[in-house]
Structure 1
Amino acid sequence: MDERALREELAVLGKSLFDRGYSVGTAGNVSVRLPDGYLMTPTNSCLGRLDPARISKLAPDWSHITGDKPSKEVFLHRAVLTARPEAGAVVHLHSTYATAISCLAPEGGDAEVPPLTPYFVMRIGRRLPCVPYYRPGDGAMEPAVFEAAKVAKALLLANHGPVVSGATLRDAVYAAEELEEAARLALLLRNVPGVRRLTPAQVDDLLQTFG
């Protein structure tokens, strides 16, 4: 997919996320890896109202080239895409249920989102680290995000929200949606007795089959 098509797709998928409440106001940001740099949603932009022509473009060294000024959380995307060279995009949202889990998860540990469905395992994997709290826009979190991203496709920022990577922009968006639904299920079933989780053997089978 060429850059023009990716800009259009980013605007379409951003609006889809916004229209369904996965982001509100100017919350959230998205990046896409290009052969000659990166696309990123602009600072203070609404995912529901992105202008493809004004989406920020950054050079391979993450310096701003064209478009509006990029999100103040450039470092967040840089950390994930550097840690995961196979990833082609990163989606950071403030979606309700995943953010709720980020307020419950132990900082520096793994969030308690159990493997209740195969789709969570297929799109997110076995682990969901929770990076300790940092003020939004604080570049000091970059090393912690980098370390978490090395071991997981998705992570939570404590009291902030989810950060999800994928091989393509669509993959990252679909994984972010799956994480939100998994977090919703986890909270709905949090204190329900007898909840059936996937077994370790079933999780291993899914990871070996779908990667």
Structure 2
Amino acid sequence: MSVSTDPAAQVTDPVAALIAAGRELVEAGLSPGSSGNVSVRDGDRVLISGTGTSLGRLTPDGIAEVSLDGTHLGGARSSKETPLHTAFYQREDGYRAVVHVHSPHAVALACLAPWAAHNAVPPLTPYFVMRVGQAPLLPYRHPGDPALGDDLLAAPWPLRAALLANHGAVVAGASLDEAVDRATELEEACRIALLTAGSERHELAPGNIRELADRWGSPWTPEP
């Protein structure tokens, strides 16, 4: 798998974009060690970082090509978390990139009881509502369990991010830049939630949340 040497072509080159996204996630502290994986949808195929690959040292040889149902088509051995990625692409056609990370604050919050059934993260800042929207806590499955993808597909709420119990976070976007930005914002929201845990904190009012979600087109299910 090769990367184009034409600078104009690299703007839309999915391999180059994956490599850049991996480095950005590592530099932001969201992907320690060889954890995490990234993917981009390119037509009817998905390019995803290979299993055991450090995102900060991702190369074209470390990228796998799979179909939308996860069938390996070429390149490196695909990540064991491929079902998580393909589930997002199957769930909504507009998603073109998925980021899965074991960022520390997202993992820590995923070890706690969720704020609500439809959202694990308390709505403390407008930026979380605007940029991420609700992020439910999906059940624990061992890493690589194909049922992780089944859980994501079966989630009854609109979403573009989720926490995986005792595991990490998965985020989708219309582009890799958008998915990385959302993963970063989700990690920040989890950090703020942990910093304020046990304190008398002031969450955003339901009316404020609804106004933000409507204005920014963010998924948010009203509490019953």
Q: Could you tell me the TM-score, scaled by structure 1's length?
A: 0.90
The answer to whether residue 210 in structure 2 is matched with residue 204 in structure 1 is yes
SS in 2 for 1:33: strand
* Counterpart contact for 1:83–1:149, Cα < 8 Å: no
More helix by share: 1
| C-alpha RMSD of the superposition | 2.2
Give 1:157-176 correspondences, 5 Å limit: 157-176=164-183
- Distance 1:142-1:105 versus aligned 2 partners, 3 A rule: same
* Counterpart contact for 2:129–2:212, Cα < 8 Å: yes
Q: Which residue of 1 aligns with 2:220?
A: none
Q: Which residue of 1 aligns with 2:143?
A: 136
The answer to whether residue 197 in structure 2 is matched with residue 190 in structure 1 is yes
- Of 173-182 and 72-81, more deviation after overlay is shown by 72-81
Which residue identity does 1:190 align to in structure 2? Answer: A
Give 1:59-70 correspondences, 5 Å limit: 59-70=67-78
Q: Which residue of 2 aligns with 1:123?
A: 131
Residue 12 of structure 1, aligned match among 14, 20, 26: 20
Q: Which residue of 2 aligns with 1:103?
A: 111
**How many equivalent residue pairs?**
209
Q: Which residue of 2 aligns with 1:178?
A: 185
Gaps of 5+ in 2: 1-8, 218-224
Once residues 163 and 60 of structure 1 are traced to their aligned partners in structure 2, the CA distance between those partners, rounded to angstroms, is 17
- Distance 1:128-1:36 versus aligned 2 partners, 3 A rule: closer
The answer to whether residue 161 in structure 2 is matched with residue 154 in structure 1 is yes
Gaps of 5+ in 1: none
Q: How much identity, in percent, do the aligned residues show?
A: 43
Q: Which residue of 2 aligns with 1:91?
A: 99
* Counterpart contact for 2:98–2:179, Cα < 8 Å: yes
